[in-house]
Structure 1
Amino acid sequence: MSVHTSVRVRFCETDALGHVNNTSYFIYLEEARVQFFDYLGKRSGTDDWPFILVSTKCDFLKQAYFKQSLHVETTVKRIGTKSFTLMHHIKDTASDAVVAEGEATVVYFDFKKQASEVIPEDLRLKLEESYQLL
């Protein structure tokens, strides 16, 4: 199962070349992660936030432009003991063509103790629902 996040490209996300600036894709990936965390039942808030981002990357495959409608499909690529990796496919909504692919590795983390922790079983089961066999 994948989680879908809609994005409409804003003017401020483009650059002098007229296409979406490379830094803007990371905003789209962040929004997709937040939507994915909501799906996991971990509402975004800072009181009891259990995740820390340790790595992110994005490969740009096609250009995107102002007012273009995109959607991000997010699945789980890997589940470890204390971390998991999300896979993102940013697609043009009209054609379903892949514009960019990204990954994010997230660690289950206790901010009070400043230490990583083992992913709880209930969360692991929810992650497994979105695990994408490659």
Structure 2
Amino acid sequence: MKIDLPERKKLVHEMRFPVRWGDMDAMGHVNNTVYFRYLETARIDWMVAMGCRPDPDGQGPVIAHAFCNFYHQLEYPADVLLRMYVSDPGRTTFETWGTMERQSQPGVICAAGGATTIWVDFRQSKAVPLPDWMRALVE
């Protein structure tokens, strides 16, 4: 299955992780909500690696919209490769994208999702322009 990501996307992060037994639901596959947790973990790992630690007294990312499309089931045991991309910086926003595949089946995308990320001043609870350093990372 071909996954269409924006042509402007930029690969910024890769992570590998095992599917945990507790990630599965009663149907024997990874629960749909867990894929969002995988995407969240990749976003946070990337941000921390870039020196942007979550700070409730400062500024940082808030997710305004998230989605995930499911193509092939993931189930325990499996190791997953998640690739994260960024694109489309706006005044206060940028897009993140992620693809997930089993390491044992390279190139076969099991799920793909993303999120619109808004840069927020947490104390003021309002969107603010992307800092220049973040804009440089996502352009």
Deviation at 1:2?
2.8
Segments of 4+ in structure 1 off by > 3 A?
44-47
Q: Does 1:32 align with 2:36?
A: no
Q: Does 1:113 align with 2:127?
A: no
* Residues 78, 84 of structure 1: 8 Å contact kept: yes
Equivalent in the alignment of 2:8: none
- 2: distance between equivalents of 1:49 and 1:34? 14
Q: Does 1:67 align with 2:77?
A: yes
What 5-or-longer segments of structure 2 have no aligned partner?
1-10
The number of residue pairs the alignment matches comes to 128
Equivalent in the alignment of 2:113: 102
What 5-or-longer segments of structure 1 have no aligned partner?
129-134
Deviation at 1:43?
1.9
- 1: distance between equivalents of 2:59 and 2:125? 12
* CA deviations over 1:16-65 (Å, ceiling 9, x no partner): 21111111111101101111212332023434341111111000010011
Q: Does 1:16 align with 2:44?
A: no
Q: Does 1:93 align with 2:92?
A: no
